[in-house]
Chain A
């Protein structure tokens, strides 16, 4: 009321600018790439033009003498090029076909024995501390509590509660979640718990003292605990942290599923 109004507006504008800058710089490459692109778009045409001019001037003395030879060579190369392109296209077709066939084979091998219902993620938790998601499948689609939810890369979580048309899913990265897992190379059991740190890592606890756990090792569910069926891929070991005592060392497991971009999920309806 009694305050200078202009100073207030300036303060607000400065705060907005600071907020936007903090958001941009705290989120790393994904956002700065836009500005880098804009800057390079601004400078690149001039840079290209200058480089072109320089090349033109320095190559000027041989420009007229070679012109006949070059024409013949050009024809020859063009023909060769079209032939090569043809074969390249054929190879690419074969390659993609091969990949899709392999994918089908893997998927049926992995999840063939389960019958699944596909669904979409329709909502994510708005709190910073828990990471539940809501999917568009409910009891009408045959989904009920404690069913396992997977994506095509690996384990997502399990159903906590259902309504007629939606279901609440607790993801494995939530801090309340812990999954009983085994290391695929030596079948030793560990427990993977969600952390608050970031959206793509789990903390593997209770590693047996006599076992070797190495970077890049594949982790899958053990089937113990009654919720998750056996043999679903969870992630890979990113690094092992040794503490003073061998019994409480832990490993950071990178999840196979990218929870930031998670869109489609599958619910396993028979276990």
Chain B
């Protein structure tokens, strides 16, 4: 029962993020660059719920984004799914109590998603490669994502531990060492 509530809550959050991305961040941006909060939510689900759930959510969100905006279906699905899977690995190896590690995870996953997307697009859609401009946009996007993570960290930790207690229950050992 509680798992159902959690899933409804997560889906609502994804909708809110979608509307933020398509409306709010189109004018609240750094030099025209928007953040990518979908990476943060998929990382968050994989980190606190479970590896499988992160992967499934990543693939579903990615597919929806591909169908809405993309030219070739599957690019975002693969990269976001990979982030959900990676989050499970992060969960095993790093502590989630520190703001710093969460920030480093957000940094690395944003970079991985955008570089993968760019590579796939280069392979399937034949875009012209502009490394300098790409890196410039990527750095701004990472900075924006990191600032948002700092702001959202208390929320992430609070809801994160609620979800973790529900999904992992008494299997959590690392937190008490």
Contacts and interface: CB of A to CB of B under 8 A. Distances in A.
Interface in B114-156: 114, 117-118, 121, 125-128, 130, 133-134, 137, 141, 144, 147-148, 150-151, 153-154
Interface string A182-216: 00000000000111111100000000000000000
B30 A15 contact: no
Given A16-B151, A128-B34, A176 B137 contact: no
A126 B28 CA distance: 13
A168 B148 CA distance: 30
B82 to A, nearest CB: 17
A15 B130 contact: no
**For the complex, would chain B's binding face be called helix, strand, loop or mixed by DSSP majority?**
helix
A218 interface: no
Contacts, number: 91
A1 B21 contact: no
Interface residues of B, number: 39
B130 A175 contact: yes
B26 interface: yes
Contacts of A22: 30, 147
A170 to B, nearest CB: 7
**For the complex, would chain A's binding face be called helix, strand, loop or mixed by DSSP majority?**
mixed
Nearest to A193: B128
A198 B32 contact: yes
B34 A15 contact: no
A129 B32 CA distance: 11
Given A16-B151, A22-B30, A196 B71 contact: no
Given A19-B151, A195-B130, A196-B130, A132 B71 contact: yes
A85 interface: no
Contacts of B97: 1
Given A18-B147, A128-B141, 11 more contacts: A12-B154, A26-B30, A123-B69, A127-B117, A129-B137, A130-B69, A130-B121, A168-B69, A168-B71, A176-B121, A176-B126
Interface of A: 1, 8, 11-12, 15-16, 18-19, 22-23, 26-27, 123-130, 132, 134, 160-161, 168, 170, 174-176, 178, 193-199
Which 4 residue pairs of A and B lie closest in terms of their CB atoms, listed nearest first?
A196-B133, A26-B31, A126-B21, A175-B127
7 contacts: A19-B151, A27-B31, A126-B18, A127-B65, A129-B114, A130-B69, A168-B71
